[in-house]
């Protein structure tokens, strides 16, 4: 890191102070969270209605257990993905934005993992009810593999390949 004329440290690359970087990263994070929040809230809303349908009583005990696990995962994903907003509101003006951005980023990553689990369990339940075929676990595993590739493997590959040392 180099120092500015007033002695404040600056980062390489964008040549921004830690506070400027935290402000930029916060704005980027909030945009990302908005996309994930919308998806998890819609999915969770639909999940909450299933128990009130006539079809729910026809589910096997195993399918009802999958449903309950899915709802709990959806609730946890919702909490993790809304957490950064609450964090920001409660620490705003306390001069801890760099620390808040790091914690919010971790909450968002946790929320994405929980969203992956929620989506996986939802897909498993839907396909079990819709088909009763033995290929369902393989189909779900393929979709999970696709999500892992899109959400984690490709971004980590880009990060490793294109991050300067």
How many other C-beta atoms lie within 10 A of the C-beta of residue 24? 13
User: Is residue 4 assigned to a domain?
Assistant: no
- Global pTM value: 0.86
Give tens-digit pLDDT for 129-142. 999 899 999 999 99
In the predicted model, what is the mean pLDDT of the chain? 91
157 token code pair: 């590959």
Model confidence at 126: pLDDT above 60: yes
Give tens-digit pLDDT for 56-73. 999 999 999 999 999 999
The percentage of residues in the chain with a pLDDT greater than 70, rounded to a whole number, is: 92
User: Is residue 128 assigned to a domain?
Assistant: yes
User: Is residue 21 assigned to a domain?
Assistant: yes
Give tens-digit pLDDT for 146-162. 999 999 999 999 999 99
User: Is residue 3 assigned to a domain?
Assistant: no
User: Is residue 2 assigned to a domain?
Assistant: no
The number of domains in the chain is: 1
Is residue 23 within 8 A of residue 97, CB to CB? The reply is yes
132 token code pair: 């009763």
Residues 24, 120: Cα–Cα separation, whole Å: 33
Average of per-residue pLDDT across 26-55: 93
Domain range holding 65? Answer: 9-162
Helix (H) / strand (E) containing 10 = strand 9-10
User: Is residue 60 assigned to a domain?
Assistant: yes
Per 3-state DSSP, the chain is made up of helix, strand and coil in percentages (nearest 5) of 80, 0, 20
Give tens-digit pLDDT for 71-117. 999 999 999 999 999 999 999 889 999 999 999 999 999 999 999 99
Give tens-digit pLDDT for 4-15. 566 655 445 688
User: Is residue 92 assigned to a domain?
Assistant: yes
Model confidence at 118: pLDDT above 90: yes
């Amino acid at each position: 890191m180099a120092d500015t004329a007033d002695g404040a440290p600056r980062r390489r690359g964008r040549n921004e102070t830690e506070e400027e970087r935290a402000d930029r990263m916060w704005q980027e994070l909030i945009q990302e969270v908005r996309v994930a929040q919308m998806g998890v809230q819609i999915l969770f809303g639909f999940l909450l209605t299933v128990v009130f349908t006539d079809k729910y009583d026809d589910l096997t005990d195993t399918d009802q257990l999958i449903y309950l696990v899915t709802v709990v995962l959806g609730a946890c994903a919702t909490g993790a993905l809304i957490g950064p907003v609450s964090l920001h509101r409660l620490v705003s003006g306390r001069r801890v934005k760099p620390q808040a951005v790091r914690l919010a980023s971790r909450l968002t990553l946790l929320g994405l993992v929980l969203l992956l689990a929620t989506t996986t369990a939802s897909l498993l339940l839907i396909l079990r009810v819709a088909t009763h075929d033995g290929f369902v676990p393989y189909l779900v595993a393929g979709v999970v593999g696709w999500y892992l590739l899109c959400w984690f493997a490709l971004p980590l590959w880009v990060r490793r390949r294109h991050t300067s040392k």
